[in-house]
Structure formats: structure tokens, C-alpha cells
Amino acid sequence: MADTLGLVTHKLNKANSKSFDIKPKKVEAWIAALPRANLGETSRLIYNALIETNQTKYNYHDRTRFLEILQEPLHYITEGMQKHFLGVGFPLPEKSKKVAIATRKIYTEIATAYKISLNDMLSGYSLFPDHRLLSLVLHRAITNLSHELLTSYQTYYPYRKHIWHELHKIYTLAKEKKCHGISINDTNKHNAKKTTVSHEYKRILLLSLSSPYCLHHGEVNKIYSALEQWADLSNIHEYNNITNPSGVFAVDCKSDLPPRYLAMDPKNTKTSHFILISTEQLTNKLRDEIQHSKDITTTVGIDLQRPALSHSLQRKLLSYWGQIPKRAFPRSTKGENISITMGLNSAHKIIFDSATGKRANKECKNQFDEPAQFESNSVKQEFETKQDVWNLVYPASDKINNIIEFESSTKTTISDEELEKHYRTENWQIVNESAGGYCIRCVSGCNNKVQVGELIGIRRSGDGHTWKWGVGTVRWMRFADNHEMQLGIQMITPDAAAVGLKSIANDNKNEPYHRTLMLPKLQMINQPATLITPPAPYRVGSKVELKILGKRINVELTKLLTNTGLYAQFQFNTLNKQYSNEPKSEASLTDSASDSDIHSVWSSI
């Protein structure tokens, strides 16, 4: 139900002898008896206590005091529960999904409890209102609503209806009561031990403006943590004549909507219930950080233990909090089925098999059936003397075994069932599309693990065409209310070639090749052919050997186009040597490599 302030609360019943006793000594004794070694049971008891007290009438002083005593155990259980879904692959296992939902509900109930206190405080008449207590209640309400919203962002699930309306309402009330600038102690903060309602409001506004559904898993936590110190570098003010709308965002305080770019709707923001948030100081701080701080980079998207923001993430935030994004192409609605495969290794195998016809001829052994091993273990490679594992990009039906044997007493071979687990394709459906990509949804349960920034292989079906496997990247991910997964895909190229790549720095002939994709030259944007590699160990300036069409060509990586932490894309130049697996004359071995050797791969796809 909605209270007199328009905030969602519960219907309250009169307390009786069986009601939860919220007297301080009783509560402290109850907390001391909680079975903290059993996180699940402790969480259940606290959640049930919140549900019961949120349906019972108490004096607002007593309720607020009870909630403040409960702060420490609440922090304990929510921190413990987050470990069950933060850092876990998506889609979440059923247990992790339930824990995430329960965590979100706990934050909802904490916020509801403070909203009840707030409603009781403001519904009575007082000549001398307790501004300190009012500020505390407003601060706790907006903080816990923010944590509820943060949990939705962390798990890529839609947030609760009315949550933005409540956030806007609480800030508006705080400003009306002149409480928005009063500092409140918060022992759960990592850096700033005192913050204001205004600070917490700006913090969640800026987080929503960072396109959380487009972030890698774990990045939303880092941004929210950084905003603990950075939020006050943004400014909230009334509407005035803005000559440059870049970095200025509009907030409709009477709506249930997040903030949006001012330039997207400038005419309707002159009304009194609109406020503006500007980020000029904040973006200047980000530029300074990028220029003067050491880069913190990782090769994976999930790194929850390092709160510092990488330069790559800071550049993303500069674009989110600064320039206005523009959709390059219009969308059109579709209902067409599509085949997908996740990850560089899987896309490499599918593209290789599709080009050679090996998925149709299962008797022909695929030389890349064993998944790539990027481990620190000592690995022994066995090759036939005539040809190595990467004989050709698309060889004929030569039965060449690629044997990867860990040094142990037991040899293991990978069964067809295991291969399907590593390299599976799934049928999804296109929701809508533009020239730049697709919005797709899972129609029959997703068995692949998905991350924002992951490489994805895509093949359409229908229209009387035999479609090739294209390559894209996951730009955003979210779940619908019915738990249906949706992905936003940006297409990189409509076709690609599966090739091999290894470093030539150490002259180790037995060093294994890494699965790599070669993408054709894109004439429309004047981009030369590129390579998609694992995120490490390659970097600009690396000299590598490219295995393509039976030839080994030395190339140098010259420009990094992107590194999502899950794959990297490089431009490259050919060097002065190429080698073939077949015996050739001495003169032919010294011929310079021509770009036509690389471009010729596209005609073979």
C-alpha cells in the first residue's frame, strides 16, 4: 500500500503480546543469540523479523532505534549473501538466483521500515521537529533503496516498479525539510564515514547513468564504490538556461524514471519538478585520473577484490557521463531464429568446422576438438612429423590428431559429450535488429555462460539463404520479469576465418598456437584486416606467427582496437618472412609475405 507521502509501505496492525519486542535490551539479546555460523538461518530470522515489525504499529522513535541496532547484523548477512551471486557466471544457477532475490527483498524491507518511520514522523504535527532524526531516517531510506537497485544492476535483473519514484520523493522531502545537506554517520561505508542524503542521491543517479546493464560483471560494484568519494563532484541545481547540454542530465522528480540526457528532452525540463545534475567536475576528475594514475588492468571481467577503476572503465564512464550517445541505425522488429555460440574458443571451432564441412562429416576428426588449455601446468605436445596441428586454415579430410597430454600417469581423451559441453550452439530469437546489431532473447534455456564483453558467434537462418557464421560482442545483458535472458549484440563482422597465432619472441617451435579469428577489411570504415585474440599475452608491438592457409606468416600487432578482458582485437602488419609446411625451394622461403596471402582466406570461407 502507499502511505500519505506516496511511498510504498505495509498495512500496520496494532501490537499485542505476541508481537516482536523492539525494546533495546530485548533486541540486543535477540541479536546475540543469532546463529551467525549458519548464514542462511540468521538471514531467515532477520528477514522474518523485518516482515513482522513492518506490519506492526510502533512509535517512530522506537522503530528507528530498533533499526539502528539492527544495522550491524543486517550488514553481516547482506555481505555474506552477496558472495553467492557476485563473481558467479550468468545465467545464475538456481540457488544463486534465489539468494540474489532474497538479498534484494531484505534491502526492500529495510527501506520500507525507515519509510514507515518517516511517514509517522511527518504525519504528526510538531512545532520543534527533530531535524537530526529526520535526516537519519531519510538517509537510511535512500541508502537502502539504492542498495536494492544496486542488487538489480549486479544481477542484470529489472528493478522494482516505483523504486525511482521513491528515490526522487525522499530526496525532494529532504530538500523541503532542509535536511539534504546534514551529514549522517554510516559505519558500513568504506571511505566516507559520514555522508548526506544529497550525496547518496547523486551516487545512485550517477550509477544509473553509467549504463549498468552494459557493464562487465563486477564493474558496477567498482563504480558504486568509487562514487562514494566522487559523487559530490557532481552538482544538482534547478533548471536554468544551459548553453551546452553535454554532461547535463535531467531528473523528473514526479516520475518513476531514472535520469536522462538533458538534450534528449530539453523542452519538458523547464517545469518545477525537474532538476538537473551536471558532471563537469566529475569528468575533469576522470581525465586527471587517466593521465596521472597507473593503469589497473586485468584479463578478466570479474575482479571483485580490486576496487580501483581501470583506464578502460574510466574512459567508458567519460562517455556515459559526458557526451550524448546516438543510435547509429534505426531498429526493426523481428521474430527470426538465430544460432549462437559463446566465447572465442567456441566461435573458432564452429567457424572452422563450418568452413571445412566437418560438422556434417562426423567421421572426420576435427583437429581442434580438444578445448584450448590456457593453464600454468606443464604441457607436452605431440605432433606428426609431416604436419603440425595447424596444417591449414581449412584443410582437406586429412585425419590429423591434436593430442594435448598433461604430464600425469593417466591419459585422458575428450568424449563427444564433453566436446558438446565446451562447444555448444543454442537457438535464440531476434527481438529487434538494426544495421549495427541485434537484441536477442533465449527461447529454450541458456546453457552457455554469458558475460558482457564476451565474443559471440552468430548465424542467422531463413530468407532462403545459407548464412555464414558472423562475429559480434555482447554489449548489454538483462533479464525480463519472467527470468528470460536478453542480450544486446553489436556485430563486428558478418564473416571470419579461424587461424592460429603464437609468439615468435622465444623461438620455441613447440609453443602451441592460440585460437584466433581473422576478420576481413571493412571498406566502409576504412579498417584493415584485424585479428581477434585471447586478452593476453599479446599487446601492441608483439611479433607473432600467424598460421593461415598452410603458411606461417610473421606479423606485428600494430594497434589495439579493443580489449574487453575476454578477447582483444588488433590491427597488424606483415613482416618479411613466411613459411609453408610443405618443402619448398630455398628461394621461396625468403620471398616477402604479400597482403594477398592474408586476403585470399576470404575466398575460401
CATH code for the domain in which residue 514 is found = 2.30.110
Same domain, 404 and 448: yes
Same domain, 168 and 233: no
Q: Are 471 and 519 in contact (CB under 8 A)?
A: yes
Same domain, 520 and 471: no
Distance CA 26, CA 21 (A): 7
Residue 187 inside a domain? The answer is no
Q: Burial code of 278-288, b = ≥16 C-beta within 10 A, e = fewer?
A: bbbebbeebee
Residue 384 — pLDDT band, cuts 50, 70, 90? Answer: very low
Tell me the residue range of the domain where 278 lies.
Answer: 214-326
Q: Burial code of 348-364, b = ≥16 C-beta within 10 A, e = fewer?
A: bbbbbbbbbebeeeeeb
Same domain, 430 and 455: yes
Residue 128 inside a domain? The answer is yes
Q: Specify the pTM.
A: 0.75
Same domain, 163 and 286: no
pLDDT average, residue stretch 523-540: 85
Residue 537 inside a domain? The answer is yes
The gap from C-alpha 105 to its chain's centroid, in whole angstroms, comes to: 22
Q: Are 154 and 86 in contact (CB under 8 A)?
A: yes
Residue 318 — pLDDT band, cuts 50, 70, 90? Answer: confident
Same domain, 320 and 359: no
Same domain, 12 and 101: yes
Among 71-75, 188-192, 230-234, 477-481, the range scoring the smallest mean pLDDT is: 188-192
pLDDT at residue 63 greater than cutoff 70: yes
Same domain, 310 and 414: no
Residue 213 — pLDDT band, cuts 50, 70, 90? Answer: very high
Residue 238 — pLDDT band, cuts 50, 70, 90? Answer: confident
Residue 190 inside a domain? The answer is no
Domain limit, last residue, from 469, 492, 515: 492
Residue 12 inside a domain? The answer is yes
Residue 55 inside a domain? The answer is yes
Amino acid residing at 529 = A
Residue 507 inside a domain? The answer is yes
Among 122-136, 428-442, 469-483, 585-599, the range scoring the smallest mean pLDDT is: 585-599
Could you give the residue ranges of the DSSP H alpha helices within 256-329?
280-292, 311-321
Domain limit, last residue, from 292, 326, 360: 326
Averaged pLDDT of the chain:
78
Give the cell for residue 394.
581449412
Same domain, 248 and 165: no
Same domain, 12 and 113: yes
pLDDT at residue 584 greater than cutoff 60: no
Same domain, 154 and 18: yes
Same domain, 76 and 178: yes
Domain limit, last residue, from 311, 326, 341: 326
pLDDT average, residue stretch 276-294: 86
How many structural domains compose the chain? 4
Q: What percent of the chain has pLDDT over 70?
A: 73
Q: Which helix (H) or strand (E) holds 422?
A: helix 416-422
Residues in CB range of 318: below 8 A, 6 or more apart: 283, 286, 287, 290
Residue 208 inside a domain? The answer is no
